[in-house]
Structure 1
Amino acid sequence: MLSVSILYELRVTIITIIIISIIFLKTVVEHNYEKFFLIQSLKKLSIVSIITLLLQSFWLLPFLLAKGTSSSVVELANRSIFYSFVRLHNALTIHHPFWTSQKPVAFVHNSIPIIYSLIPILIISTLILYNQKKLTNKAHSWVSVWIIISLIGILLTKQNHAPFAGLYEFLYEHLPGFSLYRESTKFFLFTLLGYSALIVIGYDYWSKMISSRAKFKNFLLILVSVIYLVIPLTNIIPIFNGDFETMFTPRIKSNDYSLIEKKLNEDQFFYRTLWVPKDSRWTPDNNLHPKVSLTNVVNEDWSKYLDDPFSDTLFSKISNMMSKESLFESLIKGGSIKYVFVPIQDTANDDDFFIHYGGDEVHEIRNWYIKKLKEMKFLKEIDLGLEDVVAFENTSFSNYLDISNNIVNLDSRIISIPN
């Protein structure tokens, strides 16, 4: 499982290993550093570690041989810190700031439902029991561990917000490996695990205490259970009443994207398609006709051609690029882009991304993009039988030509050339 976790998400795996290490140290202390227990535990950990390393050797060995200078890894570890929307009350209530109880809305600080205030209250009730030493000896000895794990999660998840606002940045700059965590939401895992244990310990105490008292026993047990279950029940209600969106809501693909895919399949020579401002979830994409998102190339490969490549907003970069027709034409021609498309602003199918790329600055932002493209002389609006997607053809497009030592690729026909 550990090996699979590394393949899926290395950063979460590191957090998992840290949590396991804390629990292991606590277990060692519980056994009074017993030699036999320690040796047996280390043997098992060694076997798991060796198997995991062997399974990951296909990428670890090249990385180590390159002395950790792999460009992709270096780029990942040297990114600047991403602004955090997670504040202290988000960290305390383990509520992601992008979550609306129906669907995630990125880059918006959504309000926290009042019901989530129950979470820290339940945790505090466990801490009160711990302080008054009303828990069983075993539960009491483990509470401090879960408190530490929870506090680590809270302190790191809130990132650059008070208290200790500078802690995250300090760790990011000075603690080796911490720069992999550009933003802090992965540290919710600490808090989730710590809270889960503390809530269970608290519930176990209250249920046992109520069971030992005959008066109103059943009623009180139900009441306590409802209090502890109200939050998870609140989370799943939108699934049953139809308010829950994303994967629980059926989406309908516009026929426009099917027509575009049919057109691309008919062309048997290489070219790219450019999607302005970005590609839709339905955008056709294949090796012969790969899709290109304007937001991606403007933010990466084409950024060096901008007047202000370090502009604060992506929309300002796009606007800057589209205001330079000759440069825009050269980049599109050099990128072997034959067609330029403006996708549908599809709010009904949760495929409206225009708000993130100028929608909060320009009224009817999609029409703004269409107008800008229509003003460019090298682009010709074409009729592909589409209802909503707007299509343009690059009139300066020329077929792909590539020369190497042994072959010439001309008009997609590979001709062998003898040495």
Structure 2
Amino acid sequence: MRAANDYPYYYLEAAKDLLDIPRAWSERGNSGLGEFKLNTLWAWPQNIFVGFLSNLGIKFNLILLIIIIFIVALAFFSIYKLLKYFKINKHGCLAGSLFYIFNTYIILLVDGGQIGIALAYAILPLVYLVSIKSFNGNSIDRIKAGILVGILGYFDFRFIYLFLLLVLAKLVYDFIFGSRNFKQIIVSFIVWGAVGLLMHFYWLLAFIEVRDLGLSASYLSSSQLKGFSFAGLKHAILFYQPHWYQNIFGQVAPVNRFFLIVPALAFFVPALTVNRKKLFWILVSLLSIIFIKGTNPPLGFLYTFAFETIPGFSLFRDPTKFFVLLAISYSVLIGFTFSKLNRKFLILIFIYLIFLLRPVYLGEMTGILGAYRNGHTYGEVQAKFEESGRVMWIPTRHPLGFSSPKNPVVELNDLVGRRPFAVGVVGKYETSNFLREADYMGDLLDISGIKYVVYPFPDERREKLGSDDLAYYHYFSKQLERQKWVSRKVNNYPINIFEVNTNPGKFFIAQNSIAVIGNDRIYSEFAESEFDLKNNALIFLEEHPGVGLPSGVPVYSNPNSQFDFTKLPQDRFIFPSDELKRDPDASGWWKREASDFIWMRDFLHEKYLLDNQDFTYGGGYAISEGSNELLFSSEKLSQGTLFLRALESNSGGFIEIYAGGSLIGRTNTLTTDDNTITQKITGFGQIEDSIYEYRDSAFRWHEIGELGANSIIIKTQGELNIINAFVVVSKNEIVKVALSRENVNQNIQELLSQVKTEASIDILSESPTHYKLRLSGLKKPSMLVFAENYDARWLLNGEKSYKVYSLLNGFYVNKDGDYDLYYTPQRYVDMGSVVAGLVILFLSIRTYNRLGYKRSLNQ
């Protein structure tokens, strides 16, 4: 059995399921709770290929072998054709081609399971060659180039950007040397773009309509570049992939001095006999070297500048993608070098490459090209998953881990980023401890449809395990087995599998619904009581404001709350954190996002002995430690009364707001509240349980004063001040945002229900993006919960959902009958698929007829 982290083993049922139309939403892969898939839907043709062969009865190991052979053959053919175009002799073409298919970058792509990138790497030289030749060709040449650009996008859409960079570099270079063939170039770009984009119209139309790829804000932030800049200058020059050869993300290998010959072969002869062709590829290689090292010195600022200013460059938060351009340029330059050397040197380069890549044939690789310990065991345990339900892997799914449409995979590392699971984490190092420490975890696993929890022994090839690590693994396994939510252990070491007590399935009905103004400590109410979480749908209004509520849903509020801004739309809120960086600037202010909840909570614990579990209205934290001043401007700061949401704690002080040089308001953030929050970390072995106590803190709204400017100055004093949001309201709105005690309940026990619904749900038909349901036995208006990740684009009979439990989709229903649940972006994917299919059919017929016409002329 062969697999890798980025290309896990497909068991038969999961592999057959890949033969499907493109889906905007899917549970496949490691997305068992469902996920918006538009950002990877360009790779749908790859899934179709695997699914088609699997439905023919071909096993996954053989399919994988076919793909790898195809990658090697395509890469060799592609680069050989390019080298031949430059009139490099046969020995030079062979030497350059050998380097292109036998180097650390492409081998780690294949070993790590990055098959799409490997395919794009393989075809890119051919796409470049056919495209630049089409500048002086006819319409059919341009169409063929456009088709290849589209295929390149099927492998990895980001490589179209790399292709365009290479072509534009060529055009700028030729322009400097006098080429002025603008008309042909413009026509070629139009044809490539039209053909390539129409071939991808099956997902591009949906993107145009929904304006969302499902990427987090952090994905496009330049603050993460340093963490992804693994390669140094030496790695780039020596063409030494920084993770060679163990391929462990983040573990940078020292440069091997034997790779010094690679740049020597590339630059020695071309530098001595430089001409126009050689100079271009020397310049491309130098530019690639600068980009490969990312933000590392020297000239690291150039990558940050390009990332922040050049449109589309933010696709490359991982700079090692530029190894592709360096591979092409080095291959061309090595080809030129060996054109001047004796053919005997060709044998030496082959032996040299084999020597450099010895970890491959010595069995030291850790992915597809290596062998897994206990590999056969993973194939055997699939029989242990007898019942339907999601399977949670700790911490991530093993590459050989079982998955099927009946038992989709969720990963603990993904769940820990979801709010209801994150609040159960104690500290920030042992993030899996929420399974042990959160006393309501059984309820969360239940509503999430998780039936099995799998805790495999770590891969010793990729992790150095000491005696403490081994002891922790076995103790944590025993601790899991003792949890109340475990019904039985169905498999032992080395793949511990635990079955969860209950599992309501993909749909269930919560007869009772509660809207909460405040934090989610309410979960603890379900731990030691007879209340069942799945019978009580919780909507947290301060998580995202302006959601509205169905009539009749009671509201619970913390007794200390004075204002209710949850009815205002999201765009009325002003978040100072949007204008700050993650590290303190000259003003002394810095920020964290709502997604940094675990980090932020641990920061408060460790530095200030404070605890906080409040929501942030969808914004972040603007943090000031000590006396600081911040100039803040926003178009939303307008005429009206200014309200501020800030943290009140024992470490606070006060916040002053100035506008136009005058003080408009001052608020106190220092409290003497001595309420304590207790947390426990369970010990193991000789280590006893650890009990921690923290002072409680809370975000509260403060009325500041009248505002009439778009710019304010924020001054703070005290150990710690944190601002979440501003809101400006008119005099008429002040009455509306004042919390009315008559409309809320401050005793949660009075709102929770023990009554279980007698209603039933029949699934009449289902696909990943469309379900037809029949409800019967509904006695009162209730919440129909769709147990997949919340997405507002799911509609039930045209009605929107509510985010329940900060995780799932909830639809308020009040009668029996048939219901239609549909994921709306799929409509555009279906329409785009028809267009893309017709375009591909038309291009195929036109190209075939034109080639047939040419053959007739020749005859």
* TM range, smaller chain: 0.7 to 0.9
Larger radius of gyration: 2
Moved more, 325-334 or 235-244: 235-244
The one of 169, 173, 177 aligned to 2:304: 169
Aligned length: 374
Q: What secondary structure sits across from 2:391 in the alignment? A: strand
What corresponds to 2:417 in structure 1?
299
- Does the 8 A contact of 2:456 with 2:493 survive in 1? no
What corresponds to 1:114 in structure 2?
257
The one of 164, 167, 170 aligned to 1:17: 164
- The change in CA–CA distance for 1:248 and 1:64 in structure 2 (over 3 A counts) is closer
- The change in CA–CA distance for 1:157 and 1:368 in structure 2 (over 3 A counts) is farther
- The change in CA–CA distance for 1:74 and 1:8 in structure 2 (over 3 A counts) is farther
- Does the 8 A contact of 1:257 with 1:283 survive in 2? yes
What corresponds to 1:290 in structure 2?
408
The one of 152, 155, 159 aligned to 2:290: 155
What corresponds to 1:191 in structure 2?
326
Q: Deviations over 1:293-349 (max 9, x none)?
A: 21221134656425689x5xxx43223x245231433321221222222224454xx
1:409 and 2:523 correspond: no
CA distance in 1, matches of 2:154, 2:250: 28
CA deviation after TM superposition for structure 1 residue 59, in Å: 2.1
1:98 and 2:243 correspond: yes
CA distance in 2, matches of 1:111, 1:88: 12
- The change in CA–CA distance for 1:167 and 1:346 in structure 2 (over 3 A counts) is closer
What corresponds to 1:316 in structure 2?
430
1:373 and 2:480 correspond: yes
- Does the 8 A contact of 1:253 with 1:282 survive in 2? no
CA deviation after TM superposition for structure 1 residue 370, in Å: 0.7
- Does the 8 A contact of 1:256 with 1:387 survive in 2? no
CA distance in 2, matches of 1:44, 1:411: 51
The one of 167, 181, 186 aligned to 2:316: 181
What corresponds to 2:201 in structure 1?
57
What corresponds to 2:471 in structure 1?
364
- Does the 8 A contact of 1:343 with 1:389 survive in 2? yes
Q: What secondary structure sits across from 2:416 in the alignment? A: helix
CA distance in 1, matches of 2:426, 2:292: 32
- The change in CA–CA distance for 1:298 and 1:112 in structure 2 (over 3 A counts) is same
What corresponds to 1:274 in structure 2?
392
What corresponds to 1:261 in structure 2?
382
The one of 346, 368, 374 aligned to 1:247: 368
- Does the 8 A contact of 1:274 with 1:291 survive in 2? yes
What corresponds to 1:337 in structure 2?
450
Moved more, 221-230 or 10-19: 221-230
Whichever residue aligns with residue 95 of structure 1, its letter is: Y
What corresponds to 2:353 in structure 1?
232
Q: How does 1:214-225 map to 2 (within 5 A)?
A: 221=342, 224-225=345-346
Q: How does 1:31-46 map to 2 (within 5 A)?
A: 32-33=178-179, 37-46=181-190
CA deviation after TM superposition for structure 1 residue 15, in Å: 0.7
CA deviation after TM superposition for structure 1 residue 108, in Å: 1.4
CA deviation after TM superposition for structure 1 residue 229, in Å: 4.4
Whichever residue aligns with residue 382 of structure 2, its letter is: E
**CA RMSD in angstroms, aligned pairs only:** 3.6
CA deviation after TM superposition for structure 1 residue 125, in Å: 1.8
Q: What secondary structure sits across from 1:326 in the alignment? A: coil
CA deviation after TM superposition for structure 1 residue 2, in Å: 1.1
Percent of matched pairs sharing the same residue = 18
- Does the 8 A contact of 2:266 with 2:331 survive in 1? no
CA deviation after TM superposition for structure 1 residue 254, in Å: 5.2
- Does the 8 A contact of 2:259 with 2:356 survive in 1? no
- The change in CA–CA distance for 1:202 and 1:43 in structure 2 (over 3 A counts) is same
- The change in CA–CA distance for 1:368 and 1:69 in structure 2 (over 3 A counts) is same
CA distance in 1, matches of 2:221, 2:252: 26
CA deviation after TM superposition for structure 1 residue 152, in Å: 1.5
CA distance in 2, matches of 1:361, 1:246: 26
Q: Deviations over 1:208-259 (max 9, x none)?
A: xxxxxxxxxxxxx256545654543324555556556643445576565455
The structure whose residues are more often helix, as a share, is 1
Q: Deviations over 1:177-232 (max 9, x none)?
A: 2221111110112222222222222333x33xxxxxxxxxxxxx256545654543
Q: Deviations over 1:56-78 (max 9, x none)?
A: 22222332234x34434867545
Q: Deviations over 1:25-60 (max 9, x none)?
A: 444555x435xx543444344322221121122222
Q: What secondary structure sits across from 1:182 in the alignment? A: coil
- Does the 8 A contact of 2:373 with 2:459 survive in 1? no
CA distance in 1, matches of 2:384, 2:476: 23
Q: TM-score, normalised by structure 1?
A: 0.75
Whichever residue aligns with residue 121 of structure 1, its letter is: A
Q: Deviations over 1:253-273 (max 9, x none)?
A: 656545542243x43xx4222
- The change in CA–CA distance for 1:151 and 1:371 in structure 2 (over 3 A counts) is same
Higher relative contact order (CA closer than 8 Å, sequence separation 6+): 2
CA distance in 1, matches of 2:507, 2:276: 71
CA distance in 2, matches of 1:72, 1:302: 21
| Structure 1 gap ranges (5+) | 208-220
What corresponds to 2:601 in structure 1?
none
CA distance in 1, matches of 2:304, 2:175: 33
What corresponds to 1:214 in structure 2?
none
| Structure 2 gap ranges (5+) | 1-147, 511-758, 766-772, 777-816, 819-859
CA distance in 1, matches of 2:438, 2:763: 27
CA distance in 1, matches of 2:763, 2:194: 51
The structure whose residues are more often strand, as a share, is 2
What corresponds to 2:154 in structure 1?
7
- The change in CA–CA distance for 1:147 and 1:302 in structure 2 (over 3 A counts) is farther
- Does the 8 A contact of 2:363 with 2:371 survive in 1? no
CA distance in 1, matches of 2:763, 2:479: 31
Q: TM-score, normalised by structure 2?
A: 0.39
CA distance in 2, matches of 1:197, 1:396: 61
The one of 491, 495, 498 aligned to 1:389: 495
CA deviation after TM superposition for structure 1 residue 366, in Å: 2.0
